[in-house]
Amino acid sequence: MTTKRKLIGRLVPCRCFRGEEEQVPKEIFSFERTLEELYLDANQIEELPKQLFNCQALKKLSMPDNDLSNLPTTIASLVNLKELDISKNGIQEFPDNIKCCKGLSVVEASVNPIAKLPDGFTQLLNLTQLFLNDAFLEYLPANFGRLSKLRILELRENHLKTMPKSIHRLSQLERLDLGSNEFSELPEVLEQIHNLKELWLDNNSLQSIPGSIGKLRQLRYLDLAKNRIETLDTDISGCEALEDLLLSSNMLQHLPDSIGMLKKLTTLKVDDNQLTSLPNTIGSLSLLEELDCSCNELESLPPTIGYLHSLRTFAADENFLSELPREIGNCRNVTVMSLRSNKLEFLPDEIGQMTKLRVLNLSDNRLKNLPFTFTKLKDLAALWLSDNQSKALIPLQTEAHPETKQRVLTNYMFPQQPRHDEDYQSDSDSFNPTLWEEQRQQRMTVAFDFEDKKEEEDNSGKVEINLKRYPTPYPEDLKNMVKSVQSLVGKTVHASHGHQHQLSTGTATSAGTNMEHTHLSKEPYEPPWPLPPKEVRYTHKIHRNSHTHDCIHIYRYIWHVWFQPAESICNKAVKMLLYVVKKKASNQVKVAVPQWKNPPLKVKVLKCKSKSIDLLAQICSSV
């Protein structure tokens, strides 16, 4: 065998069959002695042929996102298999003889309805990575700790409530994901996995975190969000290597002072809790880059926050902050700061020292002005001063503060400064945004409607104004409207005169006299829009239960909407004529525009469902 053929035989990725194959392509079996990697991702394969398991040299088998319902027992013949990916299938269990695949080091079986692991699975002693997320696991085998080489174990989104005691033997485990399960307390055995670096326990039912977690001295990432934790033990300080601590969406009322001993902490999220204050020791987190304490009950921030020189992102939305400490100006590396929905009445001048600020959200507060030091924020790209501000920043102007006489920045979005003239009185204290908006809408109105003069006189000379704005019609529309009115008036006069003539003729006949029939001298009436076809005007001859009647009913509806003078949308719509013609096939109709040289819609054949409204929706959406 040539070198080229050997290379092809080792790697036969079947990605070229992706999305089309319902069974394993037979072409690969010509390389069954040399095939090492096989990819059958995202196909529609329902079962694996026996011949596939004759590929003794196979080391990697990847077939996620297929329609497999089981893993055949013949998989035991793949003794050299190292990586197996069967995620996103319908597999309910592993065969017990999978233990024969002793070389397996990576198993990805997430998103399968697997309810339990067989005892034979714990004999895969070379397993280093196991992914079983989004399954139906309720427990792990008692001897699960035999998988002592495991480094990554992900069991997210299952129904686990406890962990086996043997798990403490997973001495090499570095990442453990138990998020979105049903744990009500932290498993005690976790404190014995001393090499653990990442631990996910988010979205469970934990109520407290015991001090034993402080024994995980190598822990770098801890996610305890979306639980019911009320207290955090002071021994959390033992996690001296911790870099990310996520405590969002819990019931914490305070943080322990010992949190300041987490010297390597870079991310601290305590949003959506019940905190009334932050400990002063938070200033000891000199490496902290992100702090989120939004959605709490904070009334103030500790002055020690100024020691967070590495802070880049700070969020304290939806609290009760009435002021900011001046020391916040020392956080000169902050680029994003959000203080939305607080009770801030002023900002300290020191905020001008935060020269790297690019995004600042101050909406929904009680600010009356901004400090003049804002002019130093040269990098500021986005500034929110009200809810959902989407327009460009309104230019700021310099004014003197009425009390301190210091220079401040303001614009019309703030309450205006009071005047000291005797003829003027400030309304800044009683500023009503709703009233201001109503008055602004009235000033924008350009047309007025007055009530009848008689009603005006009855109301003691008071004039009630109904503010309304009318669109200016286009000249062509005006012409069409005039023609329509003239034609309707002419038609009315013609009809009334004819009616009178019929009465007079009947009277003369009974009296034995003959009178000539006369009409007004007038040109023949020509409507400004096309008349409907005959079958539309006379529908009483059509069988009521036929599909044709449905089509005629739809057509008449469209006619009244599109071709009435008051409803004409554009000039072209007046010229357009639709014909709905019954085809030989009773479930099809044909829509055409014969009077338009360049019709907006081509001749289409639409399927007519049982209900007329379905066809109507299709026709309307096509135009």
The first and second tokens of residue 284, run together, are 């000891």
SS (H, E, C) 557-569: HHHHHHCCHHHCC
Which of 173, 96, 75, 82 lies closest to 126, judged by CA? 82
Query: Can you give the pLDDT at residue 405?
Result: 85
SS3 of 585-622: CCCEEEEECCCCCCCCCCCEEEECCCCHHHHHHHHHHH
Task: Classify strands 208-209 and 221-223 as parallel, antiparallel or unpaired.
Answer: unpaired
pLDDT tens-digit profile of 1-41? Answer: 333 333 333 444 444 444 567 888 888 888 888 999 999 99
Q: What pTM did the predictor assign? A: 0.63
Q: What angle do CA 20, 21, 23 make, to 5 degrees?
A: 165
- Residue bearing the bigger pLDDT, 471 or 241: 241
User: Of residues 275 and 15, which shows the higher confidence score?
Assistant: 275
What CA–CA distance (Å, rounded) separates 2 from 187? 57
Q: Give the residue extent of every domain in the chain.
A: 275-415, 529-623
3-state secondary structure of 442: helix
Average pLDDT score, the chain: 76
pLDDT tier for residue 400 given thresholds of 50, 70 and 90: confident
Q: Is-contact 293 315, C-beta < 8 A?
A: yes
Residue 293 carries which side chain, given as an amino acid letter?
C
Residue 497, sorted as left (phi over 0), alpha (psi -120 to 50) or beta, turns out to be alpha
> Quick one: what percent of the chain has pLDDT higher than 90?
54
3.30.420.40, 3.80.10.10, 2.60.40.1730, 3.50.50.60: which CATH number matches 275-415? 3.80.10.10
Least confident of 80-94, 148-162, 171-185, 544-558: 544-558
Tens digits of residue pLDDT in 75-100: 999 999 999 999 999 999 999 999 99
pLDDT reading at 566 higher than 70:
no
Q: CB 258: neighbour CB atoms within 10 A?
A: 17
How confident is the model over 207-227, as pLDDT tens digits? 999 999 999 999 999 999 999
Local confidence band at 153 (pLDDT 50, 70, 90 cut-offs): very high
Q: Please report, as a single letter, which amino acid is at residue 366.
A: R
